[in-house]
Amino acid sequence: MSDFYRFKKVQVIDNRLLKGETSWYEIYARNDSLLYRVHVVGSCLGGTTKFYRPDNDQKVVFSLRPKRKFLNLTFFVFQGDDGAKLATLHLKTTRGIRVCDDADQQLYSIVDPRKIKEQFIEDILGGWCGEYALLAGDNLLGRFDRRAREQQPEPEKSGFLNRLRRGILKGILRDWCLELSPSAITLSPEFLLPAAILLQEQSIRLDQTH
């Protein structure tokens, strides 16, 4: 189990036949060890999103599928590629996701923690939610937000342009990260990671383009 997951979107391939694009994510632990590779088709709407262990790109560990391909707000998580259903995810447009068990009983939710008035004002001003809360009832289990990507050490180069380049890269290279509280470390990744990918591919995209 891990208390921290960093989601790096490492590849995007345009494909009009698959609703615009297919993408690859890599999910890292706090110590930068690679935990999963994720293949997303059509922003989670065009097909099955598959999670692989880094040592075996042929075996699907768990997968995410839409209930239907049009006007869909419900997704299912399965063991492997076509095994038992593990969870149901209900998308709340740009406001988050409800995470339910295989009997559709709510376990957790990932929500926009801003008050309605704050959401309304920021929406008018063209802003968007930069942090989500992971809740079980009223208990805070973790937070999902964007964080700067730590740069690999490289030889320091003098000069204004090199300093400017380092500053720009530091500001641009950010990833969405899920950090769990100590009491939530044992939560199953099969429930949390598909919800986090879906949040990025649907809720956050919609929020940033409203």
18-70: pLDDT as tens digits: 556 789 999 999 999 999 999 998 888 878 999 999 988 889 999 999 998 78
Query: Does 178 or 13 have the greater pLDDT score?
Result: 178
In percent, the amount of the chain with pLDDT more than 90 equals 51
Quote the pLDDT of residue 153: 53
In angstroms, the CA 203 to CA 195 distance is 11
The pLDDT of residue 152 is above 50: yes
Alpha carbon 52 to its chain's center: 15
Q: Is 166 exposed, middle or buried (0-12, 13-18, 19+ CB in 10 A)?
A: middle
In angstroms, the CA 70 to CA 29 distance is 34
157 confidence band (pLDDT: 50, 70, 90): low
For residue 123, give both structure tokens: 């929406």
Q: Say which residues have a Cβ less than 8 Å from residue 172's Cβ, sequence separation at least 6.
A: none
Quote the pLDDT of residue 165: 47
Quote the pLDDT of residue 35: 96
pTM: 0.82
For residue 44, give both structure tokens: 């989670």
- The arithmetic mean of pLDDT across residues 179-206, rounded, is 88
In angstroms, the CA 1 to CA 186 distance is 6
Query: Does 150 or 30 have the greater pLDDT score?
Result: 30
For residue 30, give both structure tokens: 């706090």
Nearest CA among 47, 25, 49 for reference residue 35:
25
77-117: pLDDT as tens digits: 999 998 999 999 999 866 789 999 999 999 999 998 877 66
Contact between 105 and 89 (Cβ < 8 Å): no
Output the CA–CA distances (angstroms, integers) from residue 62 to 16, 88, 104, 131, in the order listed: 26, 13, 18, 26
Quote the pLDDT of residue 74: 95
